[in-house]
Amino acid sequence: MNQALEIYNTLSRKKEVFKPINAPFVGLYVCGPTVYSDVHLGNCRTFISFDLVYRYLIHLGYKVRYVRNITDAGHLEGDRDEGDDKFAKKAKLEQLEPMEIVQRYTLGFRHIMAEFNALPPSIEPTATGHIVEQIEMTKKLIDNGYGYEVNGTVYFDVDKYAKEQDYGILTNRKLDDLLDNSRELNGQDEKKGRLDFALWIKAKPEHIMRWPSPWGEGFPGWHIECSAMSKKYLGNTFDIHGGGMDLAATHHTNEIAQSQGCNHTHPVNFWMHANMLTVNGVRMSKSAGNGFLPGELFTGNHPLLQKGYSPMAVRFFMMQTHYRSTLDFSNEALQASEKGFAKLMSAMETLNSLKHSPKSSVNCAELSKNCYAAMNDDFNSPVVIANLFEGVRIINSVHAGTETLTEQDIQLLKKLFNDFVIDILGLKTEKSETSSTALKEVMQVILDIRADAKNKKDFATSDKIRDELLKHNITIKDTKEGTIWTL
- List CB contacts of 406: < 8 A, sequence separation 6 or more: 356, 357, 358, 359, 360
The answer to whether residue 327 forms part of the interface with RNA (CB under 7 A) is yes
The answer to whether residue 15 forms part of the interface with RNA (CB under 7 A) is no
The answer to whether residue 361 forms part of the interface with RNA (CB under 7 A) is no
By CB under 7 A, name the one of 12, 22, 172, 411 that touches RNA: 172
- Measured CA to CA, the distance from residue 38 to residue 41 in angstroms comes to 9
* Coil, helix or strand at residue 272: strand
Buried b (16+ CB within 10 A) or exposed e, 401-419: eebbbeeebbebbeebbee
The answer to whether residue 249 forms part of the interface with RNA (CB under 7 A) is yes
Of 122-130, 259-267, 432-440, 457-465, the segment contacting RNA by CB under 7 A is 457-465
List the interface residues with RNA, window 101-160 (CB under 7 A).
Answer: none
Q: C-beta of 193: minimal distance to RNA in Å?
A: 12
* Contact criterion met (CB below 8 Å) for 34 and 86: yes
What single-letter amino acid sits at 401?
G
Q: Are strands 25-30 and 63-68 parallel, antiparallel or unpaired?
A: parallel
- Centre a 10 Å sphere on the Cβ of residue 94 and count the other Cβ atoms it contains: 11
Q: C-beta of 326: minimal distance to RNA in Å?
A: 6
List the interface residues with RNA, window 375-394 (CB under 7 A).
Answer: 377, 380, 382-383, 385-386, 389-390, 392-393
Q: Closer CB to RNA, residue 234 or residue 334?
A: 334
| Sign of the torsion formed by the C-alpha atoms of 377, 381, 387 and 388 | positive
List beta partners, residue 327.
277
The answer to whether residue 477 forms part of the interface with RNA (CB under 7 A) is yes
By CB under 7 A, name the one of 99, 245, 373, 447 that touches RNA: 245
End-to-end CA distance of the chain: 39
The answer to whether residue 290 forms part of the interface with RNA (CB under 7 A) is no
- Measured CA to CA, the distance from residue 59 to residue 478 in angstroms comes to 39
- Read off φ and ψ for residue 288, nearest 5 degrees: -75, -20
The answer to whether residue 479 forms part of the interface with RNA (CB under 7 A) is yes
By CB under 7 A, name the one of 247, 364, 375, 416 that touches RNA: 247
Q: C-beta of 22: minimal distance to RNA in Å?
A: 26
Q: C-beta of 118: minimal distance to RNA in Å?
A: 13
* Coil, helix or strand at residue 86: helix
Q: C-beta of 223: minimal distance to RNA in Å?
A: 9
- Measured CA to CA, the distance from residue 418 to residue 45 in angstroms comes to 23
List the interface residues with RNA, window 59-98 (CB under 7 A).
Answer: 75-80
By CB under 7 A, name the one of 151, 186, 205, 332 that touches RNA: 332
Q: C-beta of 212: minimal distance to RNA in Å?
A: 26
The answer to whether residue 231 forms part of the interface with RNA (CB under 7 A) is no
Q: C-beta of 181: minimal distance to RNA in Å?
A: 4
By CB under 7 A, name the one of 397, 412, 414, 447 that touches RNA: 397
- List CB contacts of 342: < 8 A, sequence separation 6 or more: none
Cα Rg, the chain, nearest whole Å? 27
By CB under 7 A, name the one of 115, 396, 423, 447 that touches RNA: 396
List the interface residues with RNA, window 18-37 (CB under 7 A).
Answer: 31-34
- Measured CA to CA, the distance from residue 205 to residue 203 in angstroms comes to 6
- Measured CA to CA, the distance from residue 356 to residue 78 in angstroms comes to 64
List the interface residues with RNA, window 399-428 (CB under 7 A).
Answer: 399-400, 402
List the interface residues with RNA, window 174-203 (CB under 7 A).
Answer: 174, 177-178, 180-183
Q: Closer CB to RNA, residue 164 or residue 366?
A: 366
